[in-house]
Structure 1
Amino acid sequence: MRDLRFDNRFVRELPADPEDGRHVRQVHGACYSRVDPTPVRAPKLLAWSREVADLLGLDEADVRDPRFAEVFGGNALMPGMVPYAACYGGHQFGNWAGQLGDGRAITLGETINPQGQRWELQLKGAGPTPYSRRADGRAVLRSSIREFICSEAMHHLGVPTTRALSLVATGEPVIRDMFYDGNARPEPGAIVCRVAPSFIRFGNFEIFASRGEEPLLQQLIDFTIDRDFPELAEAEPDPVQRRLRWFEDVCRRTAVLIAHWMRVGFVHGVMNTDNMSILGLTIDYGPYGWIDNFDPDWTPNTTDAGGRRYRFGHQARIAQWNLWQLANAVYPVIQQVEPLERALAMYGEVFAAEDRRMTQQKLGLATWREGDEDDDASDAARVARLHTLLRAGEVDMTLFFRQLSDLDLAQPSVSHFDTAFYDQARRGDVAAELEAWLKDYAARIAQDGVPGAVRRERMNAVNPLYVPRNYLAQEAIDRAEQGDPSGVSELLEVLRRPYVEQPGRETYAARRPDWARHKAGCSMLSCSS
C-alpha cells in the first residue's frame, strides 16, 4: 500500500490543547487536542468506495493490502499523519450545550492528492478523546453502514456531502441501548473513514465566542477563509469585508444544500449547529431518514419525536436559525450588525430561488408562472396543491415524481401512479382531486411546448429512481450483522447510478414494504451509534 502525502495545516497553524491524554476535560484556548486512535482487536475491511479511493490517489491494490485495514481501523499510522480531535460547541435542539467536540471522531490528517486537492481523513468510532464525555468513542456496525452508504449515495445524487472511503469492522463488541429504553446489548463495532475538504462546523466558532476567546475566534475565521475559501482571501484585501463575504458565502452554500435535501426527500434528523458544515456539506449522518410517503412533518429521529424540530418541512427554517447562531458567534470580530442581517436575509432569498428552480425541474416545467399560493393559476399554487394531495393520499414522493415524467399527457390518470400509493383507502380519498390536478398539469406542460422526450430526459435527471431508503439500509445491516457484508457493496453499486434505470434491480426502486413501516431501523432511529 502506498503512503499518502500530508500537509496538516489545521494542527500546524492553530493552537493545540497543552494537555495530553484521552481523559475527559474542558479544553480552553485551543482548537484541537492531540489524540491517537485506540487500536482494535481485528480490523477487517468490509466495504470501500472506489471513487473516494481514486480522489486520494489510491487504487484497488492499495485498498486490498492488509495495511489498509490496519490504518483505517485505527491500529497504525502512515508517515505524516498527526491525529487529533477538534474542539467545538453547539446548540442542540435549540439549546446551548457548551463544549462538545469530536467525541468519537479522530482526524488522521490532511492529505494532498496528485491533483493538488486537500482532503481531510477522519475516523468515526476510533476510540475515546478528551471530548467523549461519558461515552466510549466507538460506533456500532449499523450506524457505520448507514453513514458509509448515505455519504456516497448523496454524492451520486448530486447533493453536497462529506464522503466515505471505507468501512472497517473492529472485531470488538460495543454496548449500546438503541432506543434508550434500558435494553442495552452488545453490537458489532465498526469504523468509517470520512473524507472532506474540511470538517469545520458552525460549532467550532460558537465555542470560542461563548467563552469570550475573541483572538482565537478571529484566528480560526481567518484560517478557515485562507485554507477553505481561498478565492475570498485573494479577492478581498480588507479583513473585515473578507469575513463578511465569507459569512455570505456560508449562507449561500447552506441554502443550496437544504434545497437539494428537499429535492431528493432527505431528512437530516439532527440539525444541531455542531452538525452544520461551514462548507455547506451534508455532515454527520446519524438518525437521518428518507421520505417514503410524502409528509412534511415526518422526522426520523426518536429523540425529536415530541417537538419534531428537525422534521422534513422545517429544515429550511432550522438552517436559517443555525446561521443566526453562527452570526452571533462571529459578530465579535466583525462588529457590524446590518451586513450580517443582510446575509441572513439573503439565505432565505437563495433558498427560495433554488427550491423553486429545483421544483420547476422536478415537474418538467420550462418556465415558471409567477404568483403565490393564493393565485390558482400560479405554479406556486399548483405545487402547494400537489403537496397537499400527496400527503393526504400517502403517496411515495420518490416514485411519484419519477413516474410523473412518463405520464400520458393526453389521458392523465391516477392509475399511472398505483405503485406509489401506500394505502388504497387514502388513494380513494384523493383520486378525483389528484386526477383533476394531473389534467391541469398536463395543460400547463403543453403551454411550454417542450417535446415529450426532452421533458422526460430533463425530469429523470433530477428525480432519482433509487435512493437509500431506510429499509434498504437495514436489510444490508441485517446481513452484515450475520456475517455477510456483501449487501453493503451491492446497495452502493445500485446507488452509484440513482437516475438511470437498472434492469434486474427493480426491488431497489420499490416503495417501502408494509413490514418495514414500524420496524426498528426502517422507520425512526435514535442517536445511538
Structure 2
Amino acid sequence: MKNLKINNRFTAELPADPDETNEIRQVKNALFSYVNPTKPTEPKLIHASEEVAELVGIAVDEIQSEAFLNAFSGKEILPETKPYAMCYAGHQFGNWAGQLGDGRAINLTEVEHNNEFFTLQLKGAGKTPYSRTADGLAVLRSSIREYLCAEAMHYLGVPTTRSLSLMLSGDQVLRDILYNGNPAYEKGAIVCRVAPSFIRFGSFEILTARNELKNLKQFVEYNIKHYFPEITGEPKEQYLQFFKKVADTTREMILHWQRVGFVHGVMNTDNMSIHGITIDYGPYGWLENYDPNWTPNTTDSQNRRYRFGNQPQVAQWNLFQLANALYPLINEAEPLEKILESFINDFKSDYKVMFLSKLGVFTSTEADDKLITALETVLQLSETDMTIFFRNLSKIKKEDSIEDGIEKIQDAFYIREEISGDILESWKKWFSVYLERLNNETLSDEDRAQKMNTINPKYVLRNYMAQLAIDAADQEDYSLINELYLLLQKPYDEQSELEKWFAKRPDWARSKVGCSMLSCSS
C-alpha cells in the first residue's frame, strides 16, 4: 500500500490503555486498547471495491497484490501503524449493558486522502480485550451480508460505512446460527470497513458512567476539532452544537432508512454513529410486504423494539442517552431537551415531504396527511411489496382510471385473490384521492415518473438475495456476490437484463434460515 498516507489522530491524541496484553478485562481511563489481529491461516480475497480503494488512497492495481491480501486479512500489520480496539458502552434493547467495546472489530489505522480522513477497520479479525466470552471472529455468511449491504446502502443514497474488501480467513469458526444448542463449524471471513470514524454514542456513555469527566471533555473537544470544525463559540455552546449536529445527521439517516424500507435490527446505542451513518450490519432487512411492525432480529421478536415503524422513536431515545452522557459538560437540561423535542418534530415534517415525494407529490397541503395515513393503512390489508409498489406507482398517469391504477401496481400484491371485497374498495377509495391529487400537480407524467424513480429504488438487497449469494459462496462460487454487487451499484436504473431481481420474495424464502428473520450470530 505504497500510497497510503497514515495519520493516526485517534491514538495520538486520546488516552490509551497501558495494558497491551490481549486479555478480557474492564478497561478504565482509556478510549482504546492496542491489539493485533489474529493471523489467518490461509487468507483468500473474495471481492474488493475499486471505488473504495481509490477513495482511501489505494491504487486499483494493488488490490490483487499479496500486500493487500496480507494487510486486510490481518496477516501483516501496515508499516507505521499500531492496530487498536475501541472502548465504549451502550444500552442494548433499552437496558444498560456497561462496557462493550470492539469485541470483533480491530481498527488498523487512520488514513488521509484528498483532504479526507478514513478509519480502516477489520471485522472478524480475532479476539480483543472487549470480546467478553466470544472469539472475535466472523463467519462467511454474515460477512457477505455486511460487505454487500454497506455498498448497497451507499448507492441508494443512505449514509453508511463503506466496504473495502471481503476475505476468507482459511479457518473454521464455531457458531450456533439459531441459538438452539446446535453449533456447527462455518467458514471464517473478514471484512474491511471504512468510515470517517467508528465513534459511537456509547463511546461517550462509558466515560460519564465511570465519571471520567476529564476524558469526556477531551473526547468531545477531539470530535469537534476533527469532525465538526465549523463549530465555534464558548465551550458549553460548542458542546450543544455538537449534540445538535449529531441529532440532525441521525434524523437524516433514519429518514433515508424509512424511505427505502430498511430495518437495522439492532439500534443499540453502541451501534449509533456520531456521523449519522449506518454502522454494524447484523440482522438487518428490507421490508418485503409493508409491515411497520416487522423486525429482522430474532432476539427482538417478542418486544419488537427495533421494528421498522419504531426506528425514529428509538433514534430519539438513543439521542436522549447521548444527551445524558454530555450533560455533565453542559449542566443544563433545557437546551438538550429542546434539541430532542425538535428532533421528532422535524422528523415528522421531513417524513411527510419524503413520503409525498415517493408518491410523486412535490407540493404539500394539510390534506396530504390523510393521503399518507390512508395509504399506510391500505398497504397492510393484504401483503403488499413495498419496493415494487412504490416503483410501479411511477407508471400511473393523470388520466388513468382507478382500475388502471390498481392494475399497474398489482405485481406488488403477494396474494392477488385477496384484493377483492372490502380490501378492493379500500384501494379504490385511496386511488380516487391519489389520482385527484396528481391532477393538482404541475409536473408532466414523464417528469414526475423520472423524479419518482430517483427516490424509489427498483433493486434492494432482499434477504433471500443475500442468502442465495451465501449458499453459492459456501460452494466456492463467488459469481453471485459480484452480480449483486454490480446490480446494487445502480439501484434506481431499470437494468432490464437483471429484471429477475425485481421480484417479490419467493415462497421458499418465507421460512428459510437467513431469508426472513436473523440472529446476531456471526
For this structure pair, what is the TM-score category when the shorter chain's length is used for normalisation?
A: over 0.9
Alignment-derived partner of residue 84 in structure 1? 84
Within the alignment, does 1:385 sit opposite 2:385 as a pair?
Answer: no
Alignment-derived partner of residue 64 in structure 2? 64
**In 2, Cα distance between the equivalents of 1:327 and 1:210?**
13
Query: Aligned-pair distance for 1:224?
Result: 0.8
Within the alignment, does 1:222 sit opposite 2:221 as a pair?
Answer: yes
Alignment-derived partner of residue 513 in structure 2? 520
Query: Aligned-pair distance for 1:53?
Result: 1.1
**In 2, Cα distance between the equivalents of 1:390 and 1:59?**
47
Within the alignment, does 1:452 sit opposite 2:445 as a pair?
Answer: yes
**In 2, Cα distance between the equivalents of 1:353 and 1:500?**
29
Query: Aligned-pair distance for 1:415?
Result: 2.0
Alignment-derived partner of residue 476 in structure 2? 483
Is the partner of 1:453 in helix, strand or coil? helix
**In 2, Cα distance between the equivalents of 1:335 and 1:188?**
50
Alignment-derived partner of residue 49 in structure 1? 49
Alignment-derived partner of residue 402 in structure 1? 391
Alignment-derived partner of residue 401 in structure 2? 411
Within the alignment, does 1:474 sit opposite 2:467 as a pair?
Answer: yes
**In 1, Cα distance between the equivalents of 2:183 and 2:336?**
46
Deviations 1:26-59 (Å, cap 9, x if unpaired)? 0000000000111001111101112211201223
Is the partner of 1:38 in helix, strand or coil? coil
**In 1, Cα distance between the equivalents of 2:76 and 2:350?**
44
**In 2, Cα distance between the equivalents of 1:3 and 1:101?**
31
Within the alignment, does 1:463 sit opposite 2:473 as a pair?
Answer: no
Q: Residue type matched to 1:55 in 2?
A: L
Worse overlay, 242-251 or 47-56:
47-56
Contact 2:394–2:452 (CA<8 Å) still a contact in 1? yes
Identity of aligned residues (%): 52
**In 2, Cα distance between the equivalents of 1:352 and 1:344?**
13
The 5-angstrom pairing of residues 40-439 of structure 1 reads 40-113=40-113, 115-232=114-231, 236-370=232-366, 378-409=367-398, 410-413=400-403, 414-428=406-420, 430-439=423-432
Query: Aligned-pair distance for 1:357?
Result: 1.8
Contact 1:4–1:78 (CA<8 Å) still a contact in 2? no
Is the partner of 2:464 in helix, strand or coil? helix
**In 1, Cα distance between the equivalents of 2:402 and 2:192?**
48
**In 2, Cα distance between the equivalents of 1:279 and 1:426?**
44
**In 2, Cα distance between the equivalents of 1:513 and 1:408?**
30
Alignment-derived partner of residue 373 in structure 1? none
Q: Residue type matched to 2:136 in 1?
A: G
Contact 1:204–1:274 (CA<8 Å) still a contact in 2? yes
- Equivalent pairs, count: 518
**In 1, Cα distance between the equivalents of 2:280 and 2:6?**
24
**In 1, Cα distance between the equivalents of 2:442 and 2:326?**
49
**In 1, Cα distance between the equivalents of 2:225 and 2:194?**
20
Is the partner of 2:389 in helix, strand or coil? helix
Contact 2:50–2:60 (CA<8 Å) still a contact in 1? yes
Contact 2:264–2:281 (CA<8 Å) still a contact in 1? yes
Is the partner of 2:230 in helix, strand or coil? helix
Query: Aligned-pair distance for 1:489?
Result: 1.2
The 5-angstrom pairing of residues 10-21 of structure 1 reads 10-21=10-21
Is the partner of 1:230 in helix, strand or coil? coil
Query: Aligned-pair distance for 1:380?
Result: 1.0
Q: Residue type matched to 1:456 in 2?
A: A
Query: Aligned-pair distance for 1:350?
Result: 2.3
Q: Residue type matched to 1:348 in 2?
A: I
**In 2, Cα distance between the equivalents of 1:305 and 1:190?**
27
**In 2, Cα distance between the equivalents of 1:111 and 1:417?**
47
Query: Aligned-pair distance for 1:353?
Result: 2.4
**In 2, Cα distance between the equivalents of 1:340 and 1:29?**
26
Contact 2:5–2:57 (CA<8 Å) still a contact in 1? no
Contact 2:140–2:168 (CA<8 Å) still a contact in 1? yes
**In 1, Cα distance between the equivalents of 2:514 and 2:62?**
33
Query: Aligned-pair distance for 1:391?
Result: 1.0
Q: Residue type matched to 1:511 in 2?
A: K
Contact 2:15–2:29 (CA<8 Å) still a contact in 1? yes
**In 2, Cα distance between the equivalents of 1:53 and 1:527?**
28
Q: TM-score, normalised by structure 1?
A: 0.97
**In 1, Cα distance between the equivalents of 2:459 and 2:508?**
20
**In 1, Cα distance between the equivalents of 2:189 and 2:324?**
37
Worse overlay, 389-398 or 56-65:
56-65
Is the partner of 2:199 in helix, strand or coil? coil
Deviations 1:234-253 (Å, cap 9, x if unpaired)? xx131110110010111111
Is the partner of 1:387 in helix, strand or coil? helix
Q: TM-score, normalised by structure 2?
A: 0.98
**In 2, Cα distance between the equivalents of 1:58 and 1:431?**
56
Deviations 1:473-495 (Å, cap 9, x if unpaired)? 00001000111112111101000
Deviations 1:91-145 (Å, cap 9, x if unpaired)? 00000000000000000111011x1210000000000000000000000000000
How much is the aligned-residue C-alpha RMSD, in angstroms? 1.0
Contact 1:92–1:272 (CA<8 Å) still a contact in 2? yes
Is the partner of 2:106 in helix, strand or coil? strand
Query: Aligned-pair distance for 1:3?
Result: 4.2
Contact 1:5–1:80 (CA<8 Å) still a contact in 2? no
Contact 2:3–2:58 (CA<8 Å) still a contact in 1? no
Alignment-derived partner of residue 29 in structure 1? 29
Deviations 1:476-521 (Å, cap 9, x if unpaired)? 0100011111211110100000001002101111111111011110
For structure 2, the residue ranges without an aligned partner over 5 or more in a row are none
Is the partner of 1:10 in helix, strand or coil? helix
Deviations 1:444-481 (Å, cap 9, x if unpaired)? 01111211111001100100000000000000010001
**In 2, Cα distance between the equivalents of 1:149 and 1:365?**
32
For structure 1, the residue ranges without an aligned partner over 5 or more in a row are 371-377
**In 2, Cα distance between the equivalents of 1:353 and 1:162?**
27
**In 2, Cα distance between the equivalents of 1:443 and 1:418?**
20
Contact 2:3–2:57 (CA<8 Å) still a contact in 1? no
Query: Aligned-pair distance for 1:427?
Result: 2.5
Contact 1:252–1:346 (CA<8 Å) still a contact in 2? no
Q: Residue type matched to 1:292 in 2?
A: E
Is the partner of 1:483 in helix, strand or coil? coil
